[in-house]
Structure 1
Amino acid sequence: MSAEFRTFKAGFGVNWLKAGWVIFKTQPMTFMMMYIFLVVVGLFPFVLPNPIVQVLCALSGPFLTVGFYNAVVNLQSGKTIMLADILQPFSAKGRRLNLFRLGLYQLGVAMLLGVAMTLLFEPVTAALQNHSSEQDMNAVMSEIAAAISFSDIALFIVLQSLAMMAFAYALPLVYFKKQANILAAMKQSLKVFYYNMAPLSVFGGIVALMFIASAPLSLIPLIFIMPIVYIGFFISFQAIFATQEPSQGNDDENSGEGEHKTEQEQVGQTGRFDA
């Protein structure tokens, strides 16, 4: 059975990031170390390009991300967190199997996207493979530019975006809402993005601007920014899938606005929406 969810106005994209900052500043170093750990695990397959290492790192991704989210929950509960908390889902009995299955789905989708990239950008790959050091670089770039199709790029971006949206909320749904049906969780995640496109677009737009602002500094500020983004996104999950019923007990527009106002007050005080 799919979990019920709420829809929010565009301004809540900003509120979720603000809530992320509220939580982050309580233990900033711990969250930054967790993010660095995630990055290191993600880059490890490039250091050791071994198929077994690549599969293990890919399958560990959902566990580590949920470990980060779980640290947020612990902090919201008044507990002190530490770096080792990111490994907690590996020992979570009754939930590990579904996280493992979700990791397999992610791995399968990543492989399909890899095949799609190969097929869509085969002319570009051929141009690069046929490049020799004696060739004029301008000629090579012209050949690559001629081989690139805007429609192919747009198609790949759409496929990549759909994959990202399908897994974004599916991960916390599987772990925190105990959704055992992976495909149903992915469908629910896509549905949430559709109905909450306005706040999530604002959220994503602000994150994109922060990426651009970090570029001149070799993206180093992301060590500080990305933990806030992770926390803010999990706050959006808590808000969208909050189990608390609206105080007025109806679904009309006025009650929704009152509910949002209450949630904004909660964010300012606790950093969470379902307190």
Structure 2
Amino acid sequence: MEKPFQLKLIIRRVKFTAALQWLSGAWQLFKRLPLLFIAMFCLMAIISFLLQQHQLTTLIWVFLSPFLTAGFYKTIVGVQQQQKVGIDWLFQPLTEPSCRLILMTIGAVKFVMFTPLLAFAEQLQTTMSAALEAQAGIETSVMLQLLAMVALFTLVLMLFAYAVAIAYFLKEHRFLVVLQTSFIACWRNIGALLLYGLISMALLLLTLPTLGLGIIVVAPLLQIAFFLSFNDVFALQVNAADDGVLEV
């Protein structure tokens, strides 16, 4: 039997300047409930810090992180719908059994793929630092490894960029389809996402004079903007008739 056509997985190509609209829209949403978004970001940061102090608890964070990300995204939808939202929305996906397996799988596989890359990056940084201290030129093989590392990091980031949002809001629970869809969405809109990334880096650098305190505003703002990019790329809009539902 021929598989039914899934309109919900249609991926749009957006304009290069769409990143500016995502950030502008994010600022408008952030201004509605700034204290809530700041509190959610701080709570996620504290949980992340505490759980990553030990190898065993790090595994808890690996599985918990996608649920908190989904909860943050759901809060954004609630604000768009002008619902009464609270910090407890951050944990609501944990109570939804339909998404548990796919979100846990996303967290686990993302950890497995990023761990060797981080180890590779640390080793490469040590090699390059030693070469610079010895005032020796960086070998061609090291430069090739650096390029390979950047390419691999980019690939993994593209595979998981929209994974949580696709699994949670589009109800796509086939893991390979989730990764494929996320990758294609990023590939088709690499220009807008690159601009978003450059602006994000600039905004984060602007927090340095504040001794990093500005990040409690910039980080949730950027997270909201990225979720708006998901809405835009997948041509989604908030369905006011249902709680936390996005539709084409």
Structure-2 separation of matches of 1:145 and 1:274: 57
Structure-2 separation of matches of 1:111 and 1:242: 33
Name the counterpart of 2:183: 190
Report the TM-score, using the length of structure 1 for normalisation: 0.76
Contact 1:59 1:104 in 2 (8 A): yes
**Pair 1:29-2:38 in alignment:** no
Structure-1 separation of matches of 2:44 and 2:138: 36
Structure-2 separation of matches of 1:79 and 1:274: 17
Structure-2 separation of matches of 1:145 and 1:31: 48
SS in 1 for 2:147: helix
Structure-1 separation of matches of 2:208 and 2:151: 24
Structure-2 separation of matches of 1:207 and 1:25: 18
Instruction: Give the counterpart letter for 2:199 in structure 1.
Output: I
Name the counterpart of 1:12: 18
Structure 1 residue 54: Cα displacement: 0.8
User: Of the candidates 52, 56, 61, which is equivalent to residue 57 of structure 1?
Assistant: 61
Name the counterpart of 1:201: 194
What is the root-mean-square deviation in Å for CA atoms of aligned residues?
2.5
Report the TM-score, using the length of structure 2 for normalisation: 0.84
User: Of the candidates 99, 112, 118, which is equivalent to residue 116 of structure 2?
Assistant: 112
Structure 1 residue 156: Cα displacement: 1.8
Name the counterpart of 2:148: 155
Q: Please, which moves more after superposition, 196-205 or 68-77?
A: 196-205
SS in 2 for 1:25: helix
Structure-2 separation of matches of 1:274 and 1:145: 57
User: Of the candidates 143, 149, 154, which is equivalent to residue 134 of structure 2?
Assistant: 143
Structure 1 residue 84: Cα displacement: 1.4
- In the alignment, structure 1 segments of 5+ residues that lack a partner are 128-139, 245-272
User: Of the candidates 100, 107, 114, which is equivalent to residue 103 of structure 1?
Assistant: 107
Name the counterpart of 1:259: none
Quick one: percent identity of the two aligned structures? 24
Name the counterpart of 1:137: none
- In the alignment, structure 2 segments of 5+ residues that lack a partner are 1-5, 238-245
Name the counterpart of 2:219: 226
Contact 1:59 1:107 in 2 (8 A): no
Structure-1 separation of matches of 2:51 and 2:114: 14
Contact 1:33 1:83 in 2 (8 A): yes
**Pair 1:70-2:74 in alignment:** yes
Structure 1 residue 173: Cα displacement: 0.3
SS in 1 for 2:93: helix
Contact 1:124 1:144 in 2 (8 A): no
Instruction: From the CA coordinates, give the structure whose radius of gyration is larger.
Output: 1
Structure 1 residue 144: Cα displacement: 8.6
Instruction: Give the counterpart letter for 1:236 in structure 2.
Output: S
Structure 1 residue 41: Cα displacement: 2.2
Structure-2 separation of matches of 1:219 and 1:87: 27
Structure 1 residue 56: Cα displacement: 0.6
